[in-house]
Amino acid sequence: MLLVGSYQGRLVKVNKVFERNISVLKDEYLKNTLKNYEYIEKPILATTNGYNIQYNGVYLHSEENPLVESQQICQNSLNQNKSIHIIYGLGLGYLFQLIVKHSNSTILLYEPNLDILYNSFTLVDFSQELSKDNVHIFNNLDDLLKFLSLNTRQNTTVDILALPSYREIYKEVFEEEVKKIELTYGSVLLDYGYKKKRLYNSTVTMLENIPTLLKETPVNKFENIYEGKTAIIVSAGPTLGENIQTLKKYQDKAVIFTVGTALKTLIENDIQPDFLCMIENFDCTKQVKDVDLSNINLIVEPYTNKNIHSLKVKNVLLHLSSNMPSSQYFADIANLSTDGYLAQGTVSYMALNTAVKMGFSKIILVGQDLAYVDGQCYSKDSAYDGLNCKFNPELNKYEIVPNDLIKYADAICSYTTQDKRVAAAKRRLAILNSSLYMVKSIGGSMIPTEAGYASFINHFVSYAKTLTDIKLINTSLKGAKLDGFEDISLDDAMKDEEIIDKLNLDMGYDYDVQSILNSVERSKQNLESFLEIINECGKLASRLSMDYKRNPILDKDKLLKIRKLIEEYSKLNDNNRSDNYIFKYTTTEEEINLNDVLTSIKKYDEKTTPVAISGLKKYYDLLNKRIPNIIKILSDVICEVNG
């Protein structure tokens, strides 16, 4: 650490240190802010057992030994190639400089206090650290979160480090901001999980659904149709039961959207929803089994399971999310706009987005707890009633357990045998229990939820920030805190509302069927041309694998073959190509897996070469099985639409 000048004197030399720090900042806005900054409260420099800073009566570093304190924090930090170190608070930079010195990973410094940041920039020369490409500094949390979401990868680990003093100074917001960082990181990993595990299935389902989609009406047709009206979005959280009688009393004064898991609760209490929202790619029609849907409008996505599309409902509306690749593909070939249409992995978010696009001026959430309240996971009479979250004193943590495992298995699974249903239910419970998370409740306490719900909180809060002209209300009062939503009871939210006319929607939409078929045919032809390349590369990879097993020596010929296979892999996955969307969507998991293999190899030698060859062979072998299947699906779609 280079601490220049005394705190009171040698102003010229201090300014030169400040100028050097400023000159290497990557953020122009922060650079200009610091250049023109004036103290609100000036930190006090102390020299007890080394240099220290006192701010608001708190020493930023240990009074006994600042350097040792930072070394102890640093020694447990991760130092992997794909890790991201987030340092909460600069102080005089002891911890920051140690991390930069010992890690080549991405380092994000977050200093929320401009008094401290400006002061430290005048005292310590950080120009060497700040000039490194892997080091970034932030004064605004939103900017850090945006950077984190763009730079987190599948195998990235995030390491958050902070001095004890910052936990004390920012005790009102510290835990909350750390949670936001963790949720952003978790959201990215969920997105990777979706791309790896669900993108293929959602794309295949969308393609198979095309003949059905051509009979459904886009939600776009009904933009602003309910301008100035009130919508209620019903989810199956624990507090739904507490609001059910109030909802029944006011059901004629709002348009009601419900998710599938809450439908039976509404019907059991003589509440008739106007819209049923279901986006699941798997068959979850058990959620609505034995319910008369003839007077309910169904809202689905193109990738929603085909059995859901086939439900006997009043009308089917098609929501086209711009951030869901399979939905965007259908929108593109059908010449439909997806501007402002979003889904974030949760059906209640899609319902909220639909209500926004339909023009409602007040939107009320009911049962949207996004947490486990009073030991309950779902509301009484809902599809998953009987699933509880209890504190296990032996394990010293919360645990999700069903009252009746068989009943829960039957509710979530469609397997023909009970053994398979129970096994699937146990896997689901294991996932839920491995991802339990604590979030801030509306009352201010910390309550349990699952990681998926925790990330959904982030989505709702971010969306609320963009909806400045809509009154947003959350009636849970016990669940997770949703910033941007007013927390009031359902009775208070609805008491001044008047009865509204429920509209009969003018259904039907004239698709340009021939244009859509032409696009499908082009996709099929593109895949056929890709398949020729894949076949050749598959043969080359097989020969290379056998050659290397017979003669495990790395020579020019083998390196050239590896290069050829990688070049073709790169061409097939070129993001600038407009003809490979279906290919990319149906092979993303394989692309991610191979990319992980190839990027881990810095030099080809006797250890890494067989790993690369194996990864390349596996990639092309899988594609040789998968792509013909997609081509057949596209051919079947063309035949079915043509009759």
Tokens of 462: 């971010």
Q: What DSSP element (H or E) covers 157?
A: strand 157-162
Which CATH number belongs to the domain containing residue 107 in this structure? 3.40.50
pLDDT of residue 595: 86
507 falls within a domain: no
Please state whether beta strands 387-392 and 397-402 pair in parallel, antiparallel, or not at all (unpaired): antiparallel
359 falls within a domain: yes
Do residue 598 and residue 481 come from a single domain? no
Residues whose CB is less than 8 angstroms from the CB of residue 100 and which lie 6 or more positions away in sequence, other chains included = 107, 129, 132, 135
pLDDT of residue 617: 96
337 falls within a domain: yes
Prediction pTM value = 0.71
Indicate the residue among 138, 168, 195 that finishes a domain.
195
The better pLDDT of the pair 16, 623 is held by 623
Using CB atoms within 10 A of its CB, is residue 56 exposed (0-12), middle (13-18) or buried (19+)?
A: exposed
318 falls within a domain: yes
Tokens of 49: 């057992």
206 falls within a domain: no
DSSP secondary-structure letter at 367? S
Would you put residue 138 in left (φ > 0), alpha (ψ -120 to 50) or beta? beta
Torsion on CA atoms 529, 534, 535, 536, rounded to nearest 10: 100
Would you put residue 173 in left (φ > 0), alpha (ψ -120 to 50) or beta? alpha
DSSP calls for 261-296? HHHHHHHHTT---SEEE---SS--GGGGTT---TT-
Q: Which of 86-95, 184-193, 202-211 has the lowest mean pLDDT?
A: 184-193
Do residue 162 and residue 41 come from a single domain? yes
If you average pLDDT over residues 550-564, what whole number do you get? 93
Do residue 44 and residue 191 come from a single domain? yes
Spell out a b/e string for 89-126, using b for 16 or more CB atoms within 10 Å of the CB, else e. Answer: bbbbbbbbbbbbeebebbbbbbbbbbbbbbbbbbbbbb
User: How many other C-beta atoms are found inside a 10 Å radius of the C-beta of residue 243?
Assistant: 23
587 falls within a domain: yes
Q: Band the pLDDT of 194: cuts 50, 70, 90.
A: low
Do residue 132 and residue 274 come from a single domain? no
Q: How many domains does the chain contain in total?
A: 3
Query: What is the CB-side half-sphere exposure of residue 139 using CA atoms within 13 A?
Result: 16
Sign of CA dihedral 366, 370, 371, 372: positive
Q: Band the pLDDT of 4: cuts 50, 70, 90.
A: very low
Tokens of 120: 């430290």
Indicate the residue among 141, 160, 195 that finishes a domain.
195
Asked if 251 contacts 225 with a C-beta cutoff of 8 angstroms, the reply is no
pLDDT of residue 155: 63
pLDDT in tens, 501-510: 888 898 899 9
For 78-128, the three-class secondary structure string (H helix, E strand, C coil) is: CCCCCEEEEEECCCCCHHHHHHHHHCCCEEEEECCCHHHHHHHHHHECCHH
Indicate the residue among 494, 521, 537 that finishes a domain.
494
Q: Band the pLDDT of 5: cuts 50, 70, 90.
A: very low
Is the pLDDT score of 156 beyond 80? no
pLDDT of residue 409: 81
Spell out a b/e string for 349-378, using b for 16 or more CB atoms within 10 Å of the CB, else e. Answer: bbbbbbbbbbbbebbbbbbbbbbbbeebbb
Q: What is the mean pLDDT of the chain?
A: 87
pLDDT of residue 6: 37
Asked if 283 contacts 414 with a C-beta cutoff of 8 angstroms, the reply is yes
Question: For residues 603 and 548, what is the distance between their CA atoms, to the nearest angstrom?
Answer: 17
Do residue 488 and residue 530 come from a single domain? no
Question: For residues 310 and 193, what is the distance between their CA atoms, to the nearest angstrom?
Answer: 28
Q: Which of 114-123, 396-405, 521-530, 600-609 has the lowest mean pLDDT?
A: 396-405
Asked if 432 contacts 372 with a C-beta cutoff of 8 angstroms, the reply is no
The range of the structural domain enclosing residue 319 comes to: 211-494
Do residue 487 and residue 528 come from a single domain? no
Do residue 23 and residue 107 come from a single domain? yes
Would you put residue 345 in left (φ > 0), alpha (ψ -120 to 50) or beta? left
Do residue 123 and residue 232 come from a single domain? no
What does the longest C-alpha to C-alpha distance in the chain come to? Answer: 88
DSSP secondary-structure letter at 480? B
201 falls within a domain: no
52 falls within a domain: yes
Q: Band the pLDDT of 189: cuts 50, 70, 90.
A: low
pLDDT in tens, 363-400: 999 999 888 877 665 666 655 667 777 777 777 777 77
Nearest to 453 by CA among 193, 237, 142: 237
Do residue 49 and residue 172 come from a single domain? yes
Nearest to 199 by CA among 211, 190, 212: 190
Do residue 585 and residue 450 come from a single domain? no
Do residue 471 and residue 527 come from a single domain? no
pLDDT in tens, 45-71: 888 777 888 888 888 988 888 888 888
Question: For residues 79 and 100, what is the distance between their CA atoms, to the nearest angstrom?
Answer: 11
Do residue 188 and residue 224 come from a single domain? no
Residues whose CB is less than 8 angstroms from the CB of residue 189 and which lie 6 or more positions away in sequence, other chains included = 152, 154
